[in-house]
Structures are given as structure tokens and as C-alpha cells.
Amino acid sequence: MTYIVNGRRFDREPAPGQCLRTFLRALGHFGVKKGCDAGDCGACTVWLDGVPVHSCITPAFRANGREVTTIEGLGRPGAPHPMQRQFEDAPGFQCGFCTAGMIMTSATFTKDQKADLPRALKGNLCRCTGYRAIEDAVKGVSAVETAAPGKAVGTSVGAPAGHDVVTGHAEFTMDTRIDGMLHLKVLHSPHAHARILSIDKSAALAVPGVHRVYTWEDVPRRRFTTAIHTDHLVDPDDTYILDDTVRFAGQRVAAVLADTIGAAEEGCRRLAVEYEVLPAVFDPEAAMADGAPQLHGSHDPFVRDPGHNILVELHSHIGDVDVGFAAADVIHEGTYVSPRVQHAHLETHGSIAWMQDGRLNVRTSSQSPSIAKVKLEYLFALRPDQVRVFCKRVGGGFGGKQEVIAEDLVALATLDTGRPTCFEYTREEEFTTASPRHPMSLTVKLGAKADGTLTALQVRNVSNTGAYGNHGGETLYAGGAAVMIYRCPNKKYDAYSVYTNTVPSGALRGYGMTQPAFAVESAMDELARALHIDPLELRRRNIVRPGEPLLAMHEGPDDVIFTEDGLARCIDLVGDALARTADQPHPGPEWLVGAGVASSLHETAPPTDHLSEAWVTLGDDLIYELAVGTCEFGEGTSTAHVQIAANQLGTTPSRIRLVQSDTDRTGFDTGAFASAGLFVAGNAVLRAASAVRDRILQFAAAHTGIHVVMCTMDDDGVVCGDRRVSLAELVALARRRGIRFTAARKAYGSPRSVTSNTQGFRVAVHRVTGEIRILYSVQAADAGVIINPAQVRGQVEGGVAQGIGFALTENHQVDGNGVMVNPNLRNYRIPTYADIPRTEVLLVDSADSVGPLRAKGMAECCINPVAPALANAVQDATGVRYRALPLTPERIYGRLPAEQSVSTG
């Protein structure tokens, strides 16, 4: 059969059941992405005879004799289609993984469709942007600016990879072909808790194309944690690559290595596994009770009380809460529940490994190649020089890729066979086996004087870490941020991280702070109502102010520098915005309308070790090479790093070439999480770029004989007094003397600053159906000095959108056997364009940051106030308090005040 793709003929025959997506990728069209492989996300959109289809649900043979167009054929680098240019200029992307599908869809829109984008875009999911930027792109609104030399900071320059992203040429992990590559598929446990008695491999090994079957007997017997932190001791070593006990439905039982995915799948189906099913426990309170099924032995002293499944227990007490409650005029107590939610980054996890010159190479979708490398060294007893781990562009992370859950298996297979190996998650595996947010239940008790002054603040937090302890402890500590935000002499925080037979929880944007923020900010709102005080005013009276200690759990020295009242200004801005919009049109008599607010605050880097190293080198091509280990998954640190370097070097981003996230080509970097990509790695970039600048200036000063204080960088030259020397001349002179303008600098995540925000919503709640509509959304954020205004706006919008999804549309459901009911994007509904309002983003300009150029990361904190602000608005509208998320209509309607519209005749 003959296929014509982007005008080129291919004489190739697809496999009988092959879909068009994989066929096009096999022909080298890697711009065709896999987000769901089920027709739900639209990332794989291509045209058949000019008509857009989801190529993952299109039989490949249907393209026979028809003209196929992919993103690579729509326009070319340097000569993009107008829609590609619009997406680059808006910019209408963050991680860029949905972008090809967005463009291939939008480029077909009729005038009517452009006028009805909620419907026209409902088959295209974006998890990063919150859709405003995509709407701008479709409508041709542009925000990207060009920076003048030395003026990159504060300018909305485009992402370095922008043109590649929109033309489909940005390489993601799976966008490569390696000859002789084998594929891994995993057999998952159907049971929530079971011992594996035997695994009969023979039928699987008899499948043509199957090379190996790995079980617990075939892996290094080394316990580790899948969680990524510089200090591996902050998580328990409680996990094996493959184990003889399975502790959640979905856990790996065996891995089959084969020539093709199909053969590996067949191998999995032919494995005969005998289980001894064990009693399982899903609820953390039940798991802590005497006599509950015990998940783990007592191998790791990190685990506090294995008999009661308690991984970590925290008890802190500042002052005396009993005295505080006794002194209170009003006491409020409530229990607030945040459920399990999933990152749903559009690119699933995946890794590819191969041997080269006797070294293990791993190409992976990770938020930290440096730490993934360390873990592989440990697991397989390799020297540091025997392993290289690197990332290409990463298709979204949100914390989900702060985990080593794919690299271990490809390394195992490649080290065993010497063959290249690929392991790519399915969307279902993302839901059933990758680490979601920790479900937490928090009981908050607040005491206050009649004037609103807090006298006691007590929190009991029960967190469900799932079957393993990755991130279980650190998220529990992080929860203290919700206690820290308010000044109160008497504070008590008791917290438990508990093992249960559920999918292991992990890192997710907001990291242990989002759930406590929902609880404490909801409770503060309830307290304000009990006191008859405006909720904004109650916050103003109690928030920590500069000069006061930030107290969560312990009194003592801290490393946080906090000198400006950013949070108070956020509160004022949101208060003003809600007042200014109070006369919005009412949606009608069937709707109840109300407004709500919530605030959050946290440090700009994690309390645990966070390190980054940056290298800057001026090359003979007069381009500065900036090497930094941080990877790019849409958080925008690459853009910011380039801007910071260009700023210091007096040039423009076009003169900076970024090399990133490759342990062979960059220094160590703990990883892109906890807002550290800007705050820590950004500081390393700043210092390295400044050091190179100083070297160049000193060299130029010596060369011209003009004092260095009279020398300044001037794009491709140096101005020394009234003379200008070109970089070309300086580089040539330096080269003759064996000098290179290069520098390496490290940064550490301490001291830290604080970042804060306040979210406001006005909502309408339907009296009968329980539907919630957002009428207005505003977030004010203290992001310090702004490096890139368009990116900051985009990050806040994206965080608010994700927060809206977690609060209003996403519902992770598990049946009585601990098996997820809706492990797909069709039934686990992340927000579509139609679900997300515009959010007005207001920025407070503060200058108290110790981050690079006084900037603060804000992409994490922005999600924390979203859910409580919604719940507070819903109470304001309905008079009913909902203390458990999500706020989906079927959970809302039954408690609404007397129904009026159904007459009983």
C-alpha cells in the first residue's frame, strides 16, 4: 500500500490492527504525540485529506490513498503556518506536548468554530496553560517581546524551544528511533494486597519475540525509594524494583521484554501467577487501628510504627493550645478532606536505555536526571562514570516526574541484555500506578477573640501515603506552611503519614501544602462567619508580618528572609478586585451567587537540600553556552535562565545557547521541583554569568588599559571608556594566550524567601442541579521581581486551572477492592477549555527575595488557595459548608437549601 504523508510517498504496510498514530511515528513523524491513546486528548491530531482526526483512534489502513498532514507538514521551521506562528507568539504553550494537536485542530477552524471555542476545542486537552494562552494563540493575540541587549529580564521573551515546539520538531523522550530496540510491558497486580507464590514464565517465554521475563527473583534485592530528593534519607527505603509481595492493585508483578509491544503484551497475558491474597486496608484511620493488616515489616528504622502502618508521625506544640482555647471567645472546629488527584501531564512517563562504550545511557522523562542517575548507580551497583541520564523536552511534570518509576526497568533490561530498551507508560498506568497527590484529612480547631485575634491554632493531619512511603514524610512536614501563615501564640500540629493498600502517593504541585491550605483556609472562613468579621479582614489581623517569626512546628533559627508585606498586599488587591466586580450581572433566579477568598504562603525552596550548578562559556562562535542541569517541562525555567544570563552578559537571548538536563553535559542539579528551578538553579546561572562577565570585562580592561569600572558589556562587544572592543577580538586575543571565558558556579537552596498569594472567586451555584459556575476569578501573587511577565501570568493561570480541576471536575474513584474505576481521561475529567474561566492575575512587586535578581518562583504556590476560595465562595452563595472535595454537582445538590423549582403539583 502507498501512503502519502506531508506530500511524501511511503510504500509501507501497517500492521492489521495498527492505529495511524504509531504508523506515522514509525515513519518518523514524531510531532504526532500520544497523550491518551484513546481519542480523548487530541495531542495526536492529524489531517486526512484536510480533515482533522485523532490519529490514535484512526485505523492506519484508512489513510491508504488519502493525503495525510502532520504538524511537520503544516509548515516548516523558518516558514511556519500562520497558526504555528500565532502559537509561538502568544505563546500558546507551556510544556508543548499538546501543542501539535492544538495547532492541527485550530488551523481547520471555520469562523463559526472560532466564535465557539469551548465546543471547537473540547477534543484538545492542555494541562499547563489554563487555556487563556491558547485562546490568544487561536485569535492571533501576541505577548512575546524582543529584548534589547542587557534588558532581557522583565521582558516577555519567548521560550528558547518555541519555534521547535510549534513546528513539531521539539524532541520529547519517545521521539527517537533506535535500531534493535526492545520493549517492556508490565503485568500489574489485580489484588490490593497479595503474596506472589509462583510465577510460571514458560508460556510467556514461548511467545515469538519475547526475550525475557523479569520477576522479583531477577532484580537486585535492594530496597530504595522512588522519590527524588538530594538526600535519599528523607524517604524510607521500602521499595524493590519488583517484589514478591504486592501492596496495591496495579503494582508491578513482572516485566516482559520483547521485540515489539504486541509480543510483550502477549507475554504478560500468558504469565501464570499464583497469589496468596492478603487482607487489605484502604483507609488510613483503619490502617492505624490495632489488628489492621500490616503492609510492611520493620526493615527500615525510618518507618515509625510498622505494626500500625505509620510511616511518619509528627507532634509539635508551640505555647499551649489549651490555654489559647480557654482564652477564646469563639472556637471553630471542622474536618476537611482532600482526595487523591492525578497530575495528568499530557506526556506519560517513559524511558529509553542503551549501552554505549560500556556505559549505560538513559533518556527519560524526569524532573531530575541527576538524582535518577544516583538511584540507578545505587540499584545496579554502578560507578558514577558508568551512567548517563538525560532528558529531552519533558511533556509536563507537576511533581509526577519527581519519581524514578520507569528508569529502573529499562536499566535492568539493558544491563541484562545489552540491547536498547524502551518502556512507555500507558495513560491507564499513569492513573493506576504513578503517584498521585496524598489524600489528606485534616481536623482544624481555631480559637479567636471577638476581635478576630487568633488564640489557638490546632491541626491534626492524617495523610494517606499509599503502599509506599515516597514523599510521605516531606509532604507531611510541608503541611506546616498552612499553620505558619498565621500569627498565633499557641499552635499544635499533629500529623500522621499512613501506609494503606492504595497507589503510592507522591509529589504534586503544592506538595503537601495544598491539602492543609484547603483545611485551614476553609476553617478561617468559617471562623470569620462565626465572628461576623469579613474573611479578608480576619486574615489581615492574623497573617504573619515582616519581622515576625515564621512558626509552623518549632521555635528556633530559620533560614527564611522575609522583610516585605507581600501577602497583605495580595489580600488588599483581591479585596479591591472583588469589590470592583461586585455588580457583575446575576445569572438568574435559579442561581445562588457568592464570593470567597483564600490565601497561601510558603518558602521559595524546599527545606531539604537543593543544589544546582551552572556553567557559562563564551564559545569561538561568540555564543555563550549556558549549561544547567534543570530540565524543561513547561515551567519556563529555561526561558528565565537564558534571560538571567543575557541580562548579566549585556546581550540578548539569541546569543545564549542552552544546554540542559544531561548528566554528561551539565553539572549536578537536584531537580526542577519545589519552585527551585528559578530560585536555586537561577541563582547558579546568575552567578556563573556574572563571573564570565567579570572575566571578560577584566580581560578587556587589561587589553585597553582602561580601568575595569569604565568597562561595560555591549551585546557582542565591550565598551571601555570611549572605545569599543568586539567580543570576536577579545576571544581571539584570549585564545592566543590559552584563556577561555568560562565559569562554573553552584547555588544552594538556602537562605530562602517567602512567596504568597490570595485567590478570589465569585461563583454561582444552581439551586437544583448543584452545578457550580465561576463568574469571576482573580489571583494576586507576590512573585518578587518579574523575570518574564507573560510566563508568570501563564504559570498562575495554569495553576488556578489545575486547582479548579482538582476542586470541581476531577474525581478519582476507587472500588471496594481498591481498584480505580475511571483510569482514563474520558472519565477522570481534567478541565477542558469550557471549564476554565479567565483569571485576572495581579502582581505585587516586592524586592525582598534572595532569589536571582530578587525573583521568586510562584508556579507552585498558586494552586494552594484555589480549592478553599471555591469552597468559601460556595458557602457564601448557598449557606452550606462543603468540607470534602471535589465539589462536583452530585455532591453539592442534596444539601442545598429547600429546593424551589420542582413543584410536586
Partner 1 sequence: MDLNTITEVIRQPSEQPGMDWHEGDAWLAGGTWLYSTEQPDLRRLIDLTALRWEPLVPTDEGLEISATCTIRDLYAFAWPETWTAGTLFRKSCEAFLSSFKVWNAATVGGNICLSLPAGPMITLTVALEARYELWAPDGSVRFVDALDFVTGDHRNILAPGEILRRITIPEYALRKRTAHRRFTLTRLGRSTVFLVGTQRPGANDLLLTITAGTTRPVRIAFVPLPDARTLRQSIDAVPADVWFADPNGTPDHRQHLSRHFAEEIRRELTAGDLP
- Whole-number minimum distance, CB 208 to partner 1, in Å? 13
DSSP annotation of 686: H
Sheet holding 245-246, edge to edge: 245-246, 194-200, 272-277
Cell of 482: 498552612
Residue number with CB closer to partner 1 (51 or 148)? 51
890 binds partner 1 per the rule CB under 8 A:
yes
Which of 27, 29, 30, 58 binds partner 1 (CB under 8 A)? It is: 58
Residue number with CB closer to partner 1 (624 or 761)? 761
Q: Looking at residues 408 to 427 of the shown chain, list those that interact with partner 1 (rule: CB under 8 A).
A: 426
- Whole-number minimum distance, CB 117 to partner 1, in Å? 11
Q: Residue 187 pairs with which residues in a beta bridge?
A: 254
Cell of 293: 493488616
Those residues with Cβ within 8 angstroms of residue 356's Cβ, 6 or more apart along the chain or in another chain: none
SS3 content of the chain, % helix, strand, coil (to 5): 30, 25, 45
Separation CA 483–CA 460 (nearest Å): 11
- Whole-number minimum distance, CB 394 to partner 1, in Å? 22
For 244, half-sphere exposure in the C-beta direction (CA atoms, 13 angstrom radius) is 10
What are the φ/ψ torsions at residue 372 (nearest 5 degrees)?
Answer: -60, -40
Residue number with CB closer to partner 1 (211 or 829)? 829
State which amino acid sits at residue 614.
Answer: A
- Residue owning grid cell 530504595: 224
Residue number with CB closer to partner 1 (106 or 435)? 106
Q: Rounded to the nearest 10 degrees, how much is the dihedral formed by the CA atoms of 885, 886, 890, 896?
A: 50
- Whole-number minimum distance, CB 15 to partner 1, in Å? 7
Those residues with Cβ within 8 angstroms of residue 477's Cβ, 6 or more apart along the chain or in another chain: 314, 512, 553, 607
- Residue owning grid cell 512573585: 783
266 binds partner 1 per the rule CB under 8 A:
yes
Which of 9, 11, 16, 705 binds partner 1 (CB under 8 A)? It is: 16
- Whole-number minimum distance, CB 598 to partner 1, in Å? 23
Which of 24, 32, 56, 689 binds partner 1 (CB under 8 A)? It is: 56
Largest CA distance in the chain: 98
Q: Looking at residues 422 to 481 of the shown chain, list those that interact with partner 1 (rule: CB under 8 A).
A: 426
38 binds partner 1 per the rule CB under 8 A:
yes
Contact 479, 513 (CB under 8 A): yes
- Total residues binding partner 1 (CB under 8 A): 66
Pairing between β-strand 67-69 and β-strand 440-448 as defined by DSSP bridges:
unpaired
54 binds partner 1 per the rule CB under 8 A:
yes
Q: Which stretch binds partner 1 (CB under 8 A): 200-208, 464-472, 733-741, 829-837?
A: 829-837
Cell of 713: 558589556
- Whole-number minimum distance, CB 398 to partner 1, in Å? 20
Q: Which stretch binds partner 1 (CB under 8 A): 57-65, 381-389, 468-476, 733-741?
A: 57-65
- Whole-number minimum distance, CB 350 to partner 1, in Å? 15
- Whole-number minimum distance, CB 23 to partner 1, in Å? 9
Which of 31, 35, 52, 653 binds partner 1 (CB under 8 A)? It is: 52
Q: Which residue from 391, 634, 628 is spatially nearest to 509, judged by alpha carbons?
A: 634
Separation CA 596–CA 71 (nearest Å): 43
Which three-class secondary structure string do you get for 390-444? Answer: ECCECCCCCCCCCECCCHHHHHHHHHHHCCCEEEECCHHHHHHHCCCCCCEEEEE
Residue number with CB closer to partner 1 (38 or 327)? 38
First to last CA, the chain: 67
581 binds partner 1 per the rule CB under 8 A:
no
206 binds partner 1 per the rule CB under 8 A:
no
122 binds partner 1 per the rule CB under 8 A:
yes
- Whole-number minimum distance, CB 203 to partner 1, in Å? 15
Q: Which residue from 555, 612, 117 is spatially nearest to 318, judged by alpha carbons?
A: 555
Cell of 433: 500506578
Separation CA 90–CA 790 (nearest Å): 9
Residue number with CB closer to partner 1 (52 or 512)? 52
Asked if omega into 751 is within 30° of 0 (cis), the reply is: yes
- Whole-number minimum distance, CB 242 to partner 1, in Å? 23
Which of 272, 277, 582, 821 binds partner 1 (CB under 8 A)? It is: 821
Residue number with CB closer to partner 1 (122 or 223)? 122
- Whole-number minimum distance, CB 50 to partner 1, in Å? 11
- Whole-number minimum distance, CB 647 to partner 1, in Å? 42
304 binds partner 1 per the rule CB under 8 A:
no
Residue number with CB closer to partner 1 (129 or 368)? 129
Q: Residue 443 pairs with which residues in a beta bridge?
A: 335, 460
238 binds partner 1 per the rule CB under 8 A:
no
342 binds partner 1 per the rule CB under 8 A:
no
- Whole-number minimum distance, CB 213 to partner 1, in Å? 18
Q: Which stretch binds partner 1 (CB under 8 A): 11-19, 154-162, 292-300, 674-682?
A: 11-19
Q: Looking at residues 60 to 119 of the shown chain, list those that interact with partner 1 (rule: CB under 8 A).
A: 61-62, 105, 113, 118-119
- Whole-number minimum distance, CB 502 to partner 1, in Å? 17
- Whole-number minimum distance, CB 762 to partner 1, in Å? 17
Which of 4, 13, 28, 39 binds partner 1 (CB under 8 A)? It is: 39
Separation CA 829–CA 286 (nearest Å): 29
828 binds partner 1 per the rule CB under 8 A:
yes
For 383, half-sphere exposure in the C-beta direction (CA atoms, 13 angstrom radius) is 4
Q: Looking at residues 768 to 807 of the shown chain, list those that interact with partner 1 (rule: CB under 8 A).
A: 768-771
Residue number with CB closer to partner 1 (29 or 54)? 54
290 binds partner 1 per the rule CB under 8 A:
no
Separation CA 748–CA 742 (nearest Å): 21
- Whole-number minimum distance, CB 813 to partner 1, in Å? 6
- Whole-number minimum distance, CB 176 to partner 1, in Å? 19
40 binds partner 1 per the rule CB under 8 A:
yes
Separation CA 21–CA 1 (nearest Å): 17
Q: Looking at residues 607 to 626 of the shown chain, list those that interact with partner 1 (rule: CB under 8 A).
A: none
Distances (CA, A) of 491 to 135, 552, 561, 627: 46, 8, 22, 45
- Whole-number minimum distance, CB 694 to partner 1, in Å? 55
Separation CA 540–CA 452 (nearest Å): 10
Residue number with CB closer to partner 1 (23 or 699)? 23
Separation CA 260–CA 265 (nearest Å): 9
Which of 433, 458, 809, 839 binds partner 1 (CB under 8 A)? It is: 809
Q: How many CB atoms lie within 10 A of CB 285?
A: 14
893 binds partner 1 per the rule CB under 8 A:
yes
Distances (CA, A) of 650 to 147, 640, 713, 789: 11, 15, 5, 20
Give the three-class secondary structure for 862. helix
Which of 7, 9, 17, 709 binds partner 1 (CB under 8 A)? It is: 17
Give the three-class secondary structure for 212. strand
Contact 175, 24 (CB under 8 A): no
811 binds partner 1 per the rule CB under 8 A:
yes
Q: Looking at residues 846 to 885 of the shown chain, list those that interact with partner 1 (rule: CB under 8 A).
A: none
Which of 262, 306, 549, 789 binds partner 1 (CB under 8 A)? It is: 262
**Would you tell me which residues interact with partner 1 (CB under 8 A)?**
15-19, 22, 37-40, 42, 45, 51-54, 56-59, 61-62, 105, 113, 118-124, 260-262, 265-266, 269, 426, 768-771, 808-809, 811, 813, 821-822, 826-829, 831-832, 834-835, 888-890, 893-894, 901-905
